[in-house]
Amino acid sequence: MESITGWQVISLCGIALWIVISSIFNVTQKLRSLTQPWVCKRVITDTPIIMKIQKYQHRHLDAFFSGLSCVVSVPFYTAFLPLLFWTGHCKLARQMTLLIAFCDYTGNCIKDVVSAPRPKSPPVRRVTATKDEEDNAMEYGLPSSHTLNTVCLSGYLLHYVLAYTESNDVFIKVVGLTIACLFVGLVGLGRIYLGMHSLIDIIGGLALGLGILAIWLAVSEYIDNFVVSGQNVVSFWAALSFLLLFAYPTPEFPTPSFEYHTAFNGVALGIVTGIHQTFHQFHHENVARVFSPQLAFPAFVGRLLLGIPTILLVKFCSKALAKWILPILANTLGIPIRSTSYMPTLIGMPADKKSDKIKQSGYLQKLFFFSNQTSFDALILA
């Protein structure tokens, strides 16, 4: 059995210590009291800007920006990330999966720490063309997850393409960067046009995305080498995933953000486990890639036709099975559970509005017997 290395012990103990310290000293509440009033003021100040942009509303623009928002949505990742694996570009696939998981966790943490509302509707016109957008509207605003994820997705994709093609052509680099910037700009503009975010949310998502992308480009090779051939990878990542659940901050009012990052956390754990155990069989650098003689385009299309339905079937069946098994298991163990109920009044809620009736215990406290938590969320468990 592989022994855990020193940096792994330090990392896990550091996160555990942070969980205890932040719970004892109410770090989340203190940070929120410092940031929320200023952000809420900016949201109100930005409302006239949103109204001016929405003066150009048109059904074609509604459709265009709604479709563009789907590019970094959950259904998009369900198809896009497996697609990267099926193309044979396994390094890109695993790096992109872990990067987006990191973005999702970091962005949602900041959302729930600050707990600043989205633009108030009305007077702002909010367009939620899909069920996914309706769920997104139940989250807090800062930072814009769409902007954050688009920056990291397009930035890392551009980096990979330039490195893979070994292109030193300045013109190609400029064109690629221009396309990436245009894509990010349209997504950010679309989030404002659709009434989903204020300008401060977009700026926050852009700044955070650039910061995360810069860090990821600096450490991605180390992370990839660890996932592929490191020591104690599966055990360490499982422990890390578990601790991150409890390190997540408690929002002012319940939102779906915790569930979103939990799902992606599970995806990242599964990807890391699978790649570490089967790298030399399926994920090595000499694996067949699309458009090569070893993987012709018809064969690639066959992977899509077989893979996408399989993923959807496994996704829906596993979720239904979990919702059926977990309540039975919880009842058997005597663990009370409930169904999540998010507050519709969350959107556009004034910063100074506090509720004594609605409280959410820290996620750390849910683990221990001294908790005041009276029930557990069935959807989070599933």
The set of residues, in sequence order, having a beta carbon less than 8 Å from that of 107 and lying 6+ positions away, is 143, 145, 148, 149, 205, 208
376 forms beta bridges with 337
Tokens of 37: 């009033």
Helix (H) or strand (E) holding 375: none
Active-site residue, from 89, 146, 261, 283: 146
Helix (H) or strand (E) holding 311: helix 297-333
Q: How many CB atoms lie within 10 A of CB 283?
A: 20
Q: How many CB atoms lie within 10 A of CB 188?
A: 22
197 vs 141: CA distance, rounded Å: 6
For the question of residue 197 being annotated catalytic, the response is yes
Locus of tokens 């409930």: 338
Torsion angle of the four alpha carbons 299, 101, 210, 166, in this order, in degrees rounded to the nearest 10? -30
For the question of residue 276 being annotated catalytic, the response is no
Active-site residue, from 89, 159, 197, 261: 197
149 vs 208: CA distance, rounded Å: 10
Helix (H) or strand (E) holding 229: helix 199-229
* Residues labelled catalytic: 146, 197
